[in-house]
Amino acid sequence: MNAPTTSHYPAAPTAQKAETHTLSVLVDNEPGVLARVIGLFSGRGYNIESLTVSETEHRQHLSLITIVTTGTPMVIEQIKNQLDRLVPVHHVVDMTLAGNAIERELAMVKVKGKGDSRVEALRLADAFRARVIDATTESFVFEITGASEKIEQFIALMLPLGLVEVARTGIAAASPSAQMVWPSTCLVTSSRRSMVSGVASPSRRRSMVRHIQPVPSRHGVHWPQLSCL
């Protein structure tokens, strides 16, 4: 009987299965930021399934980009690392790995039909809790909010009933109320903050971020006013 052989060379990597991840990217709201983020994906051949962006911190001029992308675990890790190295990016959070993320999407669905098709479209819309936001004698425009799977199912059911147009926002994601996914790296709203945000470059600003600790007082524990980056 032959003895088992041992090898000093690493085993060949096994094929990894592609996964879909939702990434939340906090960036400076300034011209060219979105182009840099999209350029990173297109330049390296990464796929974007969905992308939404809006300013979320008006005083600090910060925007949150939510990206749904697909790739192997190694590719997803590369995407996060490369996004984190971009100068306008403050932080990247993988909402899929954070767990229990709340993901929602809004869609407007236009259905054209008469008679039984019209009645059935209204019945299904009521079952899916879709709202009629525009109506004529020949068509409806429904507004539906929910998980992407719910919207896909609603669109599939409307297809034989006279579906003519669909507009979708893309996914927005948030962590549950009892869970904090953003790190506690914040800036005190003070003259130091104005110096950091008004004068320093984004890379310099990031290096000046510090952790804030509670301040004891006679009324209990007091937290300084924070402006999270």
Domain holding 116: CATH number?
A: 3.30.70.1150
Domain shared by 169 and 116, yes or no = yes
Supply the pLDDT for residue 136: 92
Same domain, 191 and 168: no
Q: What is the pLDDT of residue 24?
A: 93
pLDDT of residue 79 exceeding 70: yes
Residues linked to residue 132 through DSSP beta bridges, in sequence order: 142
Q: Can you give the CATH number for the domain in which 75 is found? A: 3.30.70.260
pLDDT at 159 over 70: yes
Does the pLDDT at position 51 exceed 60? yes
State which of 98, 121, 145 marks the end of a domain.
Answer: 98
For residues 107 and 129, is the Cβ–Cβ distance under 8 A?
no
Q: Is the pLDDT of residue 91 over 60?
A: yes
Q: Give the domain extent around 206.
A: 185-228
Q: Do 139 and 191 fall into the same domain?
A: no
Q: Is the pLDDT score of 8 beyond 50?
A: yes
Pair 53, 117 in one domain: no
* 54 assigned to some structural domain: yes
Residues 151, 87, single domain; the answer is no
Distance (Å, rounded) from C-alpha 185 to C-alpha 224?
Answer: 13
pLDDT in the model for residue 135: 93
Q: Are 2 and 53 in contact (CB under 8 A)?
A: no
5-20: b (≥16 Cβ within 10 Å) or e: eeeeeeeeeeeeeeee
4 within domain boundaries: no
Q: Are residues 94 and 107 in the same domain?
A: no
* Structural domains of the chain, count: 3
Read off the pLDDT of residues 101-156 as tens digits, 9 standing for 90 and up: 889 999 999 999 989 999 999 999 999 999 999 999 999 999 999 999 999 999 99
Distance from the Cα of residue 102 to its chain's centroid: 10
Residue 46 covered by a domain: yes
Q: Is residue 7 part of a domain?
A: no
How far lies 217's CA from each of 12, 119, 188, 220, 227, in Å? Answer: 60, 65, 17, 5, 21
Q: Is 169 exposed, middle or buried (0-12, 13-18, 19+ CB in 10 A)?
A: middle
Q: Which of 98, 123, 153 is the last residue of a domain?
A: 98
Model confidence band, residue 60 (pLDDT cutoffs 50, 70, 90): confident
Q: pLDDT tens for residues 163-221? A: 999 999 999 998 875 555 555 444 333 333 333 334 444 444 444 333 333 444 444 43
pLDDT at res. 120: 94
Overall pTM surpassing 0.85 (yes/no): no
The whole-number pLDDT of residue 6 equals 56
Is residue 1 in a domain? no
Residues in Cβ contact with 224 at an 8 Å cutoff, skipping those fewer than 6 apart = 188, 189, 190, 212, 215
Q: Are both 123 and 64 inside the same structural domain?
A: no
Predicted local confidence at residue 174, as pLDDT: 86
Q: Are residues 106 and 89 in the same domain?
A: no
The pLDDT, as a whole number, for residue 145 is 96
38-59: average pLDDT: 90
Span 6-11, average pLDDT: 54
Same domain, 122 and 71: no
